[in-house]
Structure 1
């Protein structure tokens, strides 16, 4: 259970300024089905996080404790670099004719594949004795943010101070990643 809360908090902060909630808000407005879109996003994130968790569990026995800490530091630095870049608008998927659920599921799965949340899931799964708690924590956090975005809609979601949130998360993640990385390399 030691990976549940850190994965939840890291994924929550990473998802707030990410493109997947923005796409969820776009699709919720288009289809007028915020709960359907949020549920599809839940399954998309669950699938991606399960892949990341399985990868983390696979490499965990090969890593030393310092290597596991360094992996988390790299995930934080990766999150910081993503948060400090300008956020590009997601593809609106206007040409997709798959229906609300399948469009949302596939669109979010493809958009989120290999994103910051999954890197956190991978790192926390590799660190802890029960990697699936990292999957659950990150997935629940992603669902919470996406549900809020779906209920708010695109216009309201875009009015949030997302740039300030992203910069704050980026600075926090960069500092945490630097401290953990230096400690993992035994430089302090």
Structure 2
């Protein structure tokens, strides 16, 4: 359960102000149909983070525990630095006519926008860290939905009141601590 809770918290925090959260806002403003958008986010995240977790679990088969420890630690430190650089809205992601409907457009746009994103990389690292791939995927998916569903339903009102910079700083500190723990905590 630790993998689930940590994955949920890290991904929900990392998603604040992220480009996919901006995409959720753009989709909500354009289509004004929250349920297909939220379900599309859920489907895209399950697929994307499922792949990321599978890669993370696969890496552990080829990298020794000591090397993995340093790679994970360095990765978490890099994520801490990355969190200090907020994303900007990318309004052109939802352009054009929804060829596959609101749900299909959301799935495709969200899946592609999430490729190489910090939440996808966090999921990969968490899956490498914990021997609980399904819990990591479930937690990271819940974290994405928790961060994006309110944006879809309440839109711009939230983004005007939420201190994104503070959330980014808190998340950077969490990644910093995780990185230091991964590198310097006594091995189990």
Shorter-chain TM-score bucket reads 0.7 to 0.9
Alignment of 1:1-188 (within 5 A): 1-98=1-98, 99-177=101-179, 179-180=180-181, 182-183=183-184
Structure 2 portions without partners, runs of 5+: none
Task: State the distance in 2 between where 1:167 and 1:185 align.
Answer: 27
Task: State the distance in 2 between where 1:136 and 1:121 align.
Answer: 10
SS in 2 for 1:114: coil
User: Where does structure 1 differ by over 3 angstroms across 4 or more consecutive aligned residues?
Assistant: none
**Contact 1:45/1:109, CA 8 A, preserved across alignment:** yes
Shift in Å, 1:92: 3.5
**Contact 1:48/1:112, CA 8 A, preserved across alignment:** yes
Task: State the distance in 2 between where 1:94 and 1:9 align.
Answer: 27
Task: State the distance in 1 between where 2:77 and 2:97 align.
Answer: 38
TM-score by length of 2: 0.85
Change (3 A) 1:92 1:70: same
Q: RMSD in angstroms over aligned alpha carbons?
A: 2.3
Q: Which moved more, 1:76-85 or 1:50-59?
A: 76-85
TM-score by length of 1: 0.85
